Amino acid sequence: MRKAEDMQWSSTERQGCVVASPDGRVDEATAQAFADHLASSVTLAAESPGRKLVVDFAGLDYMSSRGLRALTLAKRQADTAGVTMALARPNAVMREILAISRYDKLFPVSDTIEGAL
Amino acid sequence: MLIRFWGTRGSLPVAATASIVQEKVAGALLAASGRSFADLDEARAFTRNELDFATGGTFGGATTCVEIAAGDPDAGDPYILCDMGSGLRSFGLDAMRRCAAGHARVYHFFMSHLHWDHIMGFPFFVPAFDPNAHIVIHSGHEDAETALRRQQEEISFPVAFDWLRAKIEFRTLKPGEVYQIGAVQVEVMEQHHSHSSFGYRFTDADGKIAVFSTDSEHKMEKMHGEADVEAFFGNADLVICDTMYSLADSVSMKEDWGHSSNVVAIDLCHGARAKRLALFHHEPVYSDADIARMHAESIRYEELTREHAPLEVLCAYDGLEVVL
Ligand SMILES: [Zn+2]
Ligand SMILES: [Zn+2]
């Protein structure tokens, strides 16, 4: 079983927006770390001029429902804080998972970071 | 163990309309273009083997009722049933036939909860009028008797509960206990749903395990508690799961409506190392094609997220039988 530390996370600021880049996969073992990182990224985005959080999926292999539900919790926090959220650069597997779960109806999904900003 | 699905729809019974049947016939004619059939049997074989299920068949529209056939009916083992949705009516007629052939007239019901779609079949359950029948209604709820009596009050139904001829008993079961009832061991789990609901885990003498878990919402804020659910589903040969909504709907517009999604059910079954999942409690507004699409997507999600042995994803329909 992988540990929570296996979830790598980096975040940068682009055009006044926070771009957060998780790395690895989000499953039972890493979902809590993913949720915690998301929460701090929303807080960071609330203080940024663009008040926007782009979650860059490029480094994510796949995500189970726990990761998806963590995204919903983050979106709630974001809505309260006046932050908009967008997802960018999902791989083919993640794109399918977003479609099957209908999360592509809850979040804007784009192929590039620029498209999400 | 054999599982028979008598009703698989959620919330409200539905029936195919003329235009739905015409669409199926038109689809079948198109699929058969250029073919000719010598007789009805050949045409039937084509329908069964070559048409997709949504065209040649239907998931059905009766509300939840599932039979767990365990043990040996010839040795007197009783009927085991989950819920009393409108599908119970067909079971009751079939049971009368089986009783005439010697089956014991003893019925053990296990109630997920007492919402209307899960009890509406009981007033039409013919064995309840059989003076030689013994009906035991097991429930996690203490108010099961109130619910069943109330739906047969004069304002709602012409036949009062007290006019039923069978011997009817109510027993309240508690989570954490293990009960030996008929040919199965039964365990109970409380679930998140309006006025609460209960899941049941049945184990037969061969060690085959079936879990019935419907009308259960897995709350986002309580994901840590899902370890308990996975333990309850643990190594099951079949888990029957409420998969009424998409995950997105279940966490947004339909949050707190008390239901779950295909995606969460698959994750739970993966975590539990279950062998099979039956998608269940289908949304009444879904067409057969919608349900078939949801089934195909569920199979795909299982493949994409699989880390251990494959989980077989079935889609329950009225009339489906699964041998464990
Ligand atoms: Zn229901
Ligand atoms: Zn219900």
Average pLDDT, chain B: 97
Is there a contact between B20 and B287 (Cβ–Cβ < 8 Å)? yes
Please judge whether A69 and B246 are an interchain contact, meaning their C-beta atoms are less than 8 angstroms apart: no
Cα B48 to middle of ligand 2, angstroms: 33
Q: Is the pLDDT of residue A1 over 50?
A: no
Hey, how many other C-beta atoms are within 10 angstroms of the C-beta on A109? Answer: 20
Mean pLDDT within B90-106: 98
Ion ligand 1, residues whose Cβ is below 5 A away: B 10, 117, 215
Decide: residue A93, CB within 10 A, 0-12 exposed, 13-18 middle, 19+ buried: middle
pLDDT per residue over B60-89, tens digit each?
Answer: 999 999 999 999 999 999 999 999 999 999
pLDDT at B140: 98
Q: Which of residues 4-63 of A touch B (CB under 8 A)?
A: 27-28, 31, 62
Please judge whether A65 and B263 are an interchain contact, meaning their C-beta atoms are less than 8 angstroms apart: yes
Q: Domain A4-112: what homologous superfamily?
A: STAS domain (3.30.750.24)
Domain spans, chain B: 2-14+59-323, 18-56
Q: How far apart are CA A49 and CA B12, in angstroms?
A: 50
Q: Which helix (H) or strand (E) holds B18?
A: helix B18-31
Q: Is the pLDDT of residue B96 over 50?
A: yes
CA B184 to chain centre: 18
Supply the ipTM of this predicted assembly.
0.92
Cα B214 to middle of ligand 1, angstroms: 7
Bridge partners, B170 (sequence order): B137
pLDDT per residue over A21-46, tens digit each?
Answer: 999 888 888 888 999 999 999 999 99
B2-14+59-323: CATH topology: Metallo-beta-lactamase; Chain A (3.60.15)
Contacts of B261 in chain A (CB under 8 A): 65, 101
Q: Is the pLDDT of residue B316 over 70?
A: yes
Optimal mutation site among B243, B250, B261, B305, interface A, most CBs of chain A within 10 A: B305
The CB-side HSE value for A82 (13 A sphere, CA atoms) comes to 6
Angle made by CA atoms B215, B185, B118, in degrees to the nearest 5: 25
pLDDT at A8: 86
CA A38 to chain centre: 6
Q: Is B172 helix (H, G, I), strand (E, B) or coil?
A: strand
Q: Is the pLDDT of residue A2 over 60?
A: no
Q: What is the dihedral sign for C-alpha A8, A13, A15, A17?
A: positive
pLDDT at B299: 98
Mean pLDDT within B22-35: 96
Res. A5 pLDDT band, cuts 50 70 90: low
Contacts of B271 in chain A (CB under 8 A): 28
pTM for this structure? 0.95
- Identify which of B273, B203, B265, B285 has the alpha carbon closest to the alpha carbon of residue B10: B285
Bridge partners, B199 (sequence order): B189
Mean pLDDT within A59-86: 94
Please judge whether B248 and A66 are an interchain contact, meaning their C-beta atoms are less than 8 angstroms apart: no
pLDDT per residue over B256-306, tens digit each?
Answer: 999 999 999 999 999 999 999 999 999 999 999 999 999 999 999 999 999
Res. A6 pLDDT band, cuts 50 70 90: low
Instruction: Please report the number of interchain residue pairs, chain A to chain B, with beta-carbon separation below 8 angstroms.
Output: 59
pLDDT at B221: 83
pLDDT at A28: 81
Q: How far apart are CA B17 and CA B161, in angstroms?
A: 33
Q: Which ligand is nearest to the CA of B86?
A: 1
What are the start-end ranges of the H helices in B73-134? 88-100, 116-119
β-pairing, A84-88 vs A52-56, is parallel
Please judge whether B247 and A62 are an interchain contact, meaning their C-beta atoms are less than 8 angstroms apart: no
Optimal mutation site among B219, B223, B250, interface A, most CBs of chain A within 10 A: B223
Mean pLDDT within B107-111: 98
Q: Which ligand is nearest to the CA of B280?
A: 1
- Identify which of B270, B275, B278, B267 has the alpha carbon closest to the alpha carbon of residue B223: B267
Nearest residue of chain A to residue B293 (CA atoms): A100
DSSP B282: B
